């Protein structure tokens, strides 16, 4: 990874464009953008109505002529034009001034999923060049997150990281600065959210607003009193009237069991494809959870039970990828030095 690190040190902008949030780090200036990857657009005029947090608040509450768009899906840009407009609006005049002072947009680094196909890689490059970058360096998200978590990814030893995003979870084993074995599972925070919403619809004939799922998430935590029922508020499927129901947290746990079981199976598959020496390293070290969905209540305990491995949650897991990419850009990520004598 020495050559890529040398290239990354010449970059002045680090960008993490995720399905949930977009983050921009400027060299020597720090993290200047951290906003939801959401845009609200007027369908009549094509004008942007809102971007980021303001657009996210509009989701599910807009009239017919306003459309809420998420230009990033599964960690890849699916609407290049809208992603470019979103980035231009997010960076604002103050960030653009920082770019101009250092000629920052001559080179930019951006995270991409480890299994991104050529089309997804091209979309990431085109998005950044569309906002002024002359050259774009691509970095695998698990590698960047591993550096951001402080893991010794450059050493000849195994480190395992799970980047838990909104729609997918990337599972990777790293050694010597590269991915040895990895896979992506279509399970993230939104998957759990939808499973809970579907359970309430099927078993209680209730449609939940997005904010009503939060009490159920809290009821799934390993600590505290989780035996008591939880009251949730929503809209009756048949009548359309507002009403509340009492939900047993054990029923919700059963509803989300299937995606979590699939995640445990994927972890075992990744380990199966690793050399035995690296698997031995992980027996005591375990895995690290990064990404915004790493803080999903009870996720670490369920993985610990399902795999028998130690599970650790990174400090500030949602910022792991951008912090790691920023460390590479700032020159804080140190490559492995090999003594050839």
Residues 6+ apart with CB under 8 A from 133: 13, 105, 106, 107, 108
Residue 212 confidence (pLDDT): 60
pLDDT tens string, the chain, 341 residues long: the values are 444 677 888 888 999 998 899 999 988 888 989 999 999 999 999 999 999 999 999 988 889 999 999 999 888 999 999 999 999 898 876 566 655 555 545 789 999 999 899 999 999 999 999 888 889 999 999 999 999 999 989 889 999 999 999 889 999 999 988 999 999 998 888 888 888 888 888 888 888 776 666 666 655 554 444 456 777 888 888 888 888 888 887 787 787 787 888 899 999 999 999 999 999 999 888 999 999 889 887 788 889 988 899 999 999 999 999 999 999 999 887 665 444 34
Whole-model pTM: value is 0.85
């Amino acid at each position: 990874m020495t050559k890529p690190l040398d290239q990354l040190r010449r970059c002045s902008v680090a960008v993490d464009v995720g399905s949930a949030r977009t983050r921009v780090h400027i060299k020597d200036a720090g993290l200047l953008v951290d906003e939801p990857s959401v845009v609200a657009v007027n369908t009549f005029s094509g004008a942007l109505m809102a971007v980021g947090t303001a657009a996210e608040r509009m989701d599910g509450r807009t009239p017919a002529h306003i459309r809420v768009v998420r230009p990033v899906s599964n960690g890849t840009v699916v609407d290049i034009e809208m992603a470019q407009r979103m980035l231009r609006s997010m960076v604002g005049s103050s960030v653009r001034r920082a770019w101009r002072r250092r000629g920052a947009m001559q080179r930019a680094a951006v995270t991409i999923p480890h299994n991104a196909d050529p089309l997804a890689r091209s979309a990431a490059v085109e998005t950044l060049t569309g906002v002024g970058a002359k050259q774009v360096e691509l970095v695998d998200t698990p590698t960047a997150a591993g550096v951001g978590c402080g893991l010794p990814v450059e050493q000849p030893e195994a480190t395992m990281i799970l980047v838990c995003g909104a729609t997918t979870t990337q599972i990777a084993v790293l050694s010597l600065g590269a991915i040895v074995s990895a896979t992506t599972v279509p399970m993230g925070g939104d998957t759990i959210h939808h499973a809970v919403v579907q359970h309430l619809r099927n078993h209680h004939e209730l449609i939940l607003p997005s904010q009503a799922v939060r009490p159920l998430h809290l009821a799934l935590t390993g600590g505290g009193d989780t035996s008591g029922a939880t009251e949730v508020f929503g809209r009756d499927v048949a009548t359309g009237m507002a009403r509340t129901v009492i939900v047993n947290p054990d029923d919700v746990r059963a509803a989300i069991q299937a995606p979590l079981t699939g995640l445990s199976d994927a972890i075992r598959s990744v380990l199966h494809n690793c050399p035995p020496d690296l698997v031995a390293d992980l027996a005591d070290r375990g895995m690290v959870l990064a990404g915004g969905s790493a803080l999903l209540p009870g996720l670490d305990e369920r993985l610990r039970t399902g795999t028998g491995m130690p599970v650790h949650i990174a400090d500030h897991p949602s910022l792991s990828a951008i912090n790691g990419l920023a460390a590479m850009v700032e020159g804080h990520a140190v490559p492995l030095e090999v003594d050839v004598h």
